[in-house]
Amino acid sequence: VQTQDAVKAEAEKDIEVLTREADDEGIPALTTAKSDDTAFTVPSVPDDKRAAFEKVANDYLPGWDWSRVGGGYSFAMRPANEKAIRDGAVNQALQTIRNRIDQFGVSEPVISRQGLDSDRIVVQLPGVDDPERVKRLIKNTAFLEFRLCVFPEVGGGASSRDEILSHYGGTVPPDVEVLPQDIRDDLGKVVAQSWFALESKRVITGRDLKSASPSRGQFGQPVVQFLLTAEGAQRFGKATGDNVGRGLAIVLDGKVVSAPRINSRITDSGIIEGNFTDQEVQDLVTTLRSGALPAGIVYLEDRTVGPSLGQDSIEAGLRAGMYGALLVVLMMLIVYRVSGFNSIVALAINVALLFGALSYFGATLTLPGIAG
């Protein structure tokens, strides 16, 4: 788990909170400059607003230490806060992966953290038919964002990143982020890219989703239908109502999925279009339901138990089972004679019915299942 991603996201969120609350206290145009993911500075605060600013910092940034530097302030994340963020990211990733695997229907998965303070997670998945799809499902961050388009404000994106840079005179403003969109053909293959300049501020994120489900669009194409929480619906309704006519980009894991025009105020529901296949929609719904990963994931090692090792185990198990069953039959016949024969026949019928039911439903007979 790339826990540094979680530290960076937490720092950006705290900076956004500080800026918003300072503005509410009458400290407009507050600028910040990050030196790294655990430190930033506020170059200038008016003298008559220092007391109000310090109160905001103490109230809303309890995990940061701050000090006066000239006419501004320097902030540093406390080590205990950073450690808590990293541990929380691993634990949240562990729970998110477990939720995704459970929705995929894998029998008896083993998902655990490797060590108490490690950032590594071990996942064991027996009997998976499509391991590559499961790996994509696990690794997919599924960080969903809705952002307002700045350039172009509506319609298709720019043909290149350089076109956007040229529009801004070579330097993109600090409150604007340039992101790509993959253009796909009818087979889902990426054939080109377009680019959008978007507001850095997010209207809503995947955390504001109440539910997500697969659906069909106006022309029968696979789409994702979503429902927002009450708080998310309030912010989404205000943003769309104030920006009718502008483009609203739907961003997934750092790439624009689509950028439809806002025709009217939208409140608690909507759809996500993006030239998806049915399987991609189902996987996206699964990841959105389980929640976004708090940080990126990198595969360090991948092992697969080959069929030869599995076949050896099966043959050894069959031999042991046959020998054990033969001994049981002999003992029952010797000790109980006719009654023993009747019980053997009844047991054989029960075993046949059990394995027939397991085969019909495609279930797996596991040790916990036998014990139950």
The larger pLDDT score, comparing residue 137 to residue 88, is at: 88
3-41: per-residue pLDDT in tens?
888 898 888 888 888 888 888 888 876 777 777 888 998
pLDDT(104) > 80? no
Bridge-based pairing of strands 144-151 and 121-124 is unpaired
pLDDT(368) > 70? no
Residue 359, CA distances (Å) to 141, 352, 353, 362 in order: 36, 10, 10, 5
Token pair listed for 157: 């994106």
> What residues have CB less than 8 Å from 365, skipping those under 6 apart?
355, 358
**Distance, C-alpha 282 to centroid of its chain:** 14
Per 3-state DSSP, the chain is made up of helix, strand and coil in percentages (nearest 5) of: 45, 25, 30
pLDDT score recorded for residue 29: 60
The phi-psi region of residue 362 (left if phi > 0; otherwise alpha if psi is between -120 and 50; otherwise beta) is: left
pLDDT score recorded for residue 305: 65
The larger pLDDT score, comparing residue 322 to residue 303, is at: 322
Q: Is the distance from CB of 92 to CB of 294 less than 8 angstroms? A: yes
pLDDT score recorded for residue 162: 92
The percentage of the chain sitting over the pLDDT mark of 90, rounded to a whole number, equals: 16
Alpha-carbon distance 344 to 328, whole Å?
A: 9
Token pair listed for 166: 């040229």
pLDDT score recorded for residue 310: 60
Binned at pLDDT 50, 70 and 90, residue 337 comes out as confident
| Peptide bond connecting 152 to the previous residue in cis, omega within 30 degrees of 0 | yes
Helices (H), 105-191: 131-139, 161-167
Q: Of 222, 212, 230, whose CA–CA distance to 287 is shortest?
A: 212
Mean pLDDT of 181-204: 85
Mean pLDDT of 113-123: 84
The percentage of the chain sitting over the pLDDT mark of 70, rounded to a whole number, equals: 94
pLDDT(161) > 60? yes
Mean pLDDT of the chain: 84
- What ranges make up the beta strands (E) of the chain? 33-36, 39-42, 64-69, 72-77, 110-113, 121-124, 144-151, 176-184, 190-199, 204-205, 209-216, 222-228, 248-252, 255-258, 269-272
Alpha-carbon distance 102 to 329, whole Å?
A: 41
Mean pLDDT of 284-293: 77
